Structure 1
Amino acid sequence: MNTTRGPDVIVPAAPRQRATGRPALVEHLRRLRENATLFASLAREAGIDARDSDANTIPCIVGSSITALRLSDALLRRGIYADPVLFPAVAEDQARLRFFVTSCHSFEQIRMMVNALAEELELLNGVRRALDLEPAGDEAGGLIHQPGADV
């Protein structure tokens, strides 16, 4: 599944203006806004720092650049493309993934994307916690080297 811009690329130009005219366009814009709102809402419910957006691009703050790259790679292996935004484009602790939600995404696809992001983020956080709990230096028989520690 690709979340990058597709046929919906014209929509962000006027996301808050009332659509009138062709019923198909009105429905398209309604569905796009509904999908973007659903993604952001589900992400926040899952504990993800999803930021508000006036468009179909939903930024999710994930922490460091390395975390964003690892998450992006893990999601790609699951068939989801999420664009990482890394330092120096953003502060190192504000790296993010950008999800491009379209009107063509089904509610189930959106739920699946959010669930996959939450699962992969939890896996990375669990690994990080486990590594932080590992004994260092003499406590581990000298086998574990902590980054930045003198060897």
Structure 2
Amino acid sequence: MKLLIQRVRSARVEVAGEVVGAIDQGLLALVGIEPQDTPASIAKGLKRMLAYRVFSDAEGKMNLSLSDVNGGLLLVSQFTLAADTRSGLRPSFSTAAPPAQGAELFEHLVKLAREQHPQVATGRFGADMQVHLVNDGPVTFLLEV
């Protein structure tokens, strides 16, 4: 699984002009599911993301996690993160999980996230989504599980 996390002041996802998920301060996580991912690797990635220290403490150092600041978490499935871009001029998606597996594991991630964190919003799996965000910093990290 690849998690592209961005510290945001706000973020929202629209599908066909309708807002389907939104948060204020927190993390926007673009989620790429790969064929080797399992429920265990999904749980491990979520645990790491919730504890990853990307928010500033009183001294301006990145010492606080999403859980520490009680920020929102916006999860957006993005199969293109799992693309193979090592050669050529067009991405290959053979390294992304098949849609059924991706949907199942993304829903597992959402379920676990809602059990472990109070503010979770999502995009819509497989939909044509427009993601709006105010990246705070900017601060962006790629977590690979």
Give TM-score, length-normalised by structure 2: 0.28
User: Comparing both chains, which one has the higher relative contact order based on Cα–Cα distances under 8 Å and sequence gaps of 6 or more?
Assistant: 2
More helix by share: 1
Task: Choose 1 or 2 for highest CA Rg.
Answer: 1
* TM-score, normalisation: structure 1: 0.27
